[in-house]
Amino acid sequence: MDYSTNVTYLSLEGHVELEKYRYVYFVITLSVYMLITCCNAVVIYVIYTNERLHEPMYIFIAALLCNALFGAAGLYPKLLSDLLSEKQIISHGACLFQAFWIYTNGGSEFALLAAMAYDRYVSICKPLQYATLMKMSTVKKLLFFCWFVPSCEMGISIILTYRPLCKYKLNRIYCNAHSVAKLSCGDITVVNLYGLSALTIVVCPPVMFVMYSYIRIIEVCVKNSKDFRRKALQTCFPHLFVFTCFSITACFEVVNARFEGNVPHLLTLILSIENWVIPPLINPIIYGLKLQEIWNRIKGMIWKKKMHNFAD
């Protein structure tokens, strides 16, 4: 192939390590995708069908799990198709679209976790003002912000990245803008600078706000009773655990993308995959088990199903 100019298709070289046992990996990947879809969908369904759960905290949980399904849909179908294909290729445009999809998902995840931290902060630190500050109109505005702003920032990044390519080998199993930009024919300084700026804007404010919220929450908990601290921990622990897990995996992914080539290929592959396995699986399990109201509803659904089968 002559790829000195006008490259229109990219080769996803990250599949080399998977080639020998690709059918085994296909079964594993399909199982993980189905598990992610089922676990997240069950909790979303429970929240959607129970009016008692139509409160800001549970609405944000449902939004977070919807975002997980959105992100998984941007990765797994293409990955499953590639595992069954002799050649793992993707068009330039489709590659950038996948990068936009994945980046928007990551940015929205950070924003949603920050919105959830704000909800917990108001609930614990300003309980008398909760009904005023967390009206349904406010929740809708926060959700709109969480999805709209990251999509705009990442859209600009993808537009800047869309330029003629002189290379076609992408050493990954899915597309990200920085890796595609490095295949460009010309100078990518502007692309890199904007990418770093967008990354800083998307990640740093939510992380700082979550940290500030929990510092204030801890201050309030210290001044209150043991029972108050127990209830606060019960509602805050799932969010804090999910936020920590996602931040760590997202950090690994960013470092992996920025220092690609300096990391062993197998480690690169593992870092690429873990971000799309651990958070989407942990989130519904943590929220489903730790938040008593959701867990009670899930158990009620299971019990009803068993009784119906027994009656039949």
Does the residue 2 lie in any domain? no
Instruction: Return the structure tokens found at 145.
Output: 């912000």
- How many helices (H) and strands (E) the chain has is answered by 11, 3
Q: Which residue has the tokens 């460009």?
A: 184
Does the residue 1 lie in any domain? no
Tell me the pLDDT band of 9, cut-offs 50, 70 and 90.
confident
pLDDT in tens, 127-167: 899 999 999 999 999 999 999 999 998 999 899 888 888 88
SS3 141: helix
The conformation of residue 9, written as its DSSP 8-state character, comes to E
Q: What is the domain extent for residue 108?
A: 9-311
Residue 95 or 18, more confident: 95
Any bridge partners for residue 165, and if so which? 184
Does the residue 254 lie in any domain? yes
pLDDT in tens, 173-205: 888 888 888 888 878 888 888 888 888 888 889
Does the residue 3 lie in any domain? no
Give the integer Cα–Cα distance in Å for 113 and 203. 11
User: Average pLDDT of 224-248?
Assistant: 85
Does the residue 4 lie in any domain? no
Does the residue 234 lie in any domain? yes
The conformation of residue 18, written as its DSSP 8-state character, comes to G
Q: pTM of this prediction?
A: 0.87
Query: What is the domain count for the chain?
Result: 1
Does the residue 287 lie in any domain? yes
Does the residue 60 lie in any domain? yes
pLDDT of residue 263: 59
User: Average pLDDT of 284-301?
Assistant: 72
Kindly report the CATH number assigned to the domain that includes residue 47: 1.20.1070.10
Give the integer Cα–Cα distance in Å for 44 and 41. 5
